[in-house]
Structure 1
């Protein structure tokens, strides 16, 4: 079985609730909150687990919110390892106005992860000898420029297939240090090439320009409700997103990465890797809050593509 490790540098506890009517300066009465373990890599591990495979999620956890995070990950049945961080784990807040069905998402800033704490967690990851390493989610600005360089140094010639789903300068740093797969959207793809925007008919040439410029084998461009495209140096694939009743987009991107990584671990073809990604991402939008997807929904959608 392919050994998959996910690394979440900036995890969170997601607190979800509903309310009726948003009125400034009024007390807003909310429903009983639901708590979920959040953070890119953790969500990817949850997705892989739901598809019937196993990965190990690595993440820092600090303070009472960190303890809650660990209990939530354990409840999901995900294998995990942590290091204790001095800074408390963050808590995000997601609320839906039942009168309009509008969703409000409040993301809290990254707690400070020290360089020593990062080195400690990366050493634990290395000792697992992963075949696939997923680095997903936001990254603290202070570490963004060194994380992927350090990963390359630690693993050396035994570097696993590195799958990256992040944004901003961190994504460029990842490419500069060599990755197997990245998943930018249109805007992120343009930024990586120093462009203001990319037209739909320019996506393929832009993605293949990245592959040629950097040590990267696969670029998956997510296109939201339209679907996604996958490129390597020789091939181009497009999968349209299926029509579903959308309830929440939280976790859809992580679900997509989870589906692709699971398919990759099964030695699936490139088109099947993309189909599983689109199926899992679309299935996640069928659920409220941050619940990701149900396996039966993802399987049904996959066979409809």
Structure 2
């Protein structure tokens, strides 16, 4: 059932898990309108899904990385081929149903971007169990496991808690970036969680209009023992880092965005690479912001260059300390 792909590396420092990968298809058209045929320009194909994007960017930044993901059908075969082409060692779990596609159209006349995300395959209980088994094997000596992206149909909301338990058993630190039931299903064992502001708001079930509101919400996750740290991505407003002892607000780097697809994944990659270099979390978040900014400047989900990330890293301003004593 498992396809090791291009010689999957058993000694990777960072192992990513993508439970709902996708073939990312990007094209452009002058105008997007109903009913009419939309004549598109050249088409770009990238392997997508949270963990796969993280692995590709981490690889560019020099990390030792491997990607674990289920894949099926011709789409899954192409995703696997593209991951291998990106020089990312992979552990592919063969599944019966076909891997999904995600379709992005850039409207050149307005600069708007239209994103169509198709529903993923249904994973059987046996396929899910094989994913956990392959993760355990791939991450046997890893320092970090990154679980990123949505859960496909048929997968229990508690699945990421099972991933957290595997990480605890292996002594690996879990960095989790997910939403909805996948986020709500985790009760303990994460090292860093990176929700967007929308995801954090949905998790706590209330508006988070101010920095103080956001800090309190993040602190709730830490105090419940769900995670040791929370990094909230705020889009053009930057990011917020909360631990049991610190609350820092980071500004974004203003740039002209080409595509927003994968920017959050690039942030996770930068944070993880920084941590793998034994940097403090605050410095790692700065690298994450640089990687996310660089990703905004690439077409589709094309990875940025290491030189661009390092150049932007020098531009990330010193974060502002916030008062942690809000409750």
Is TM > 0.5 for Structure 1 vs Structure 2? yes
Q: Residue 45 of structure 1 contacts residue 54 of structure 1 at CA under 8 Å; is this kept in 2? A: no
Distance verdict in 2 for CA 1:115–1:198, change over 3 Å = farther
Q: So what's the TM-score if we normalise by structure 1?
A: 0.95
Provide the C-alpha distance between the structure 2 equivalents of 1:249 and 1:152, rounded to a whole number of angstroms.
29
Which deviates the most, 103-112 or 208-217? Answer: 208-217
2:306 matched residue in structure 1: 295
1:46 matched residue in structure 2: 56
Provide the C-alpha distance between the structure 1 equivalents of 2:87 and 2:164, rounded to a whole number of angstroms.
30
Q: Residue 173 of structure 2 contacts residue 190 of structure 2 at CA under 8 Å; is this kept in 1? A: yes
Provide the C-alpha distance between the structure 2 equivalents of 1:97 and 1:156, rounded to a whole number of angstroms.
45
Provide the C-alpha distance between the structure 1 equivalents of 2:185 and 2:94, rounded to a whole number of angstroms.
26
2:42 matched residue in structure 1: 32
1:282 matched residue in structure 2: 293
Alignment size in residue pairs:
304
| Residue 138 of structure 1, aligned match among 132, 142, 150 | 150
Q: Residue 186 of structure 1 contacts residue 198 of structure 1 at CA under 8 Å; is this kept in 2? A: no
The one-character-per-residue Cα deviations of 1:140-160 (angstroms, maximum 9, x if unpaired) are: 253142312333454554342
Q: Give, in angstroms, the shift of residue 194 of structure 1.
A: 3.0
Q: Per residue, is there more helix in 1 or in 2?
A: 1
Q: 2:154 aligns to what SS in structure 1?
A: helix
What 5-or-longer segments of structure 2 have no aligned partner?
1-10, 317-327
Provide the C-alpha distance between the structure 2 equivalents of 1:15 and 1:229, rounded to a whole number of angstroms.
31
The one-character-per-residue Cα deviations of 1:27-52 (angstroms, maximum 9, x if unpaired) are: 21111211000000000000101101
Distance verdict in 2 for CA 1:173–1:245, change over 3 Å = same
What 5-or-longer segments of structure 1 have no aligned partner?
none
1:111 matched residue in structure 2: 121
1:98 maps to 2:108: yes
Cα-Cα RMSD: 1.6
Which deviates the most, 208-217 or 137-146? Answer: 137-146
Q: So what's the TM-score if we normalise by structure 2?
A: 0.88
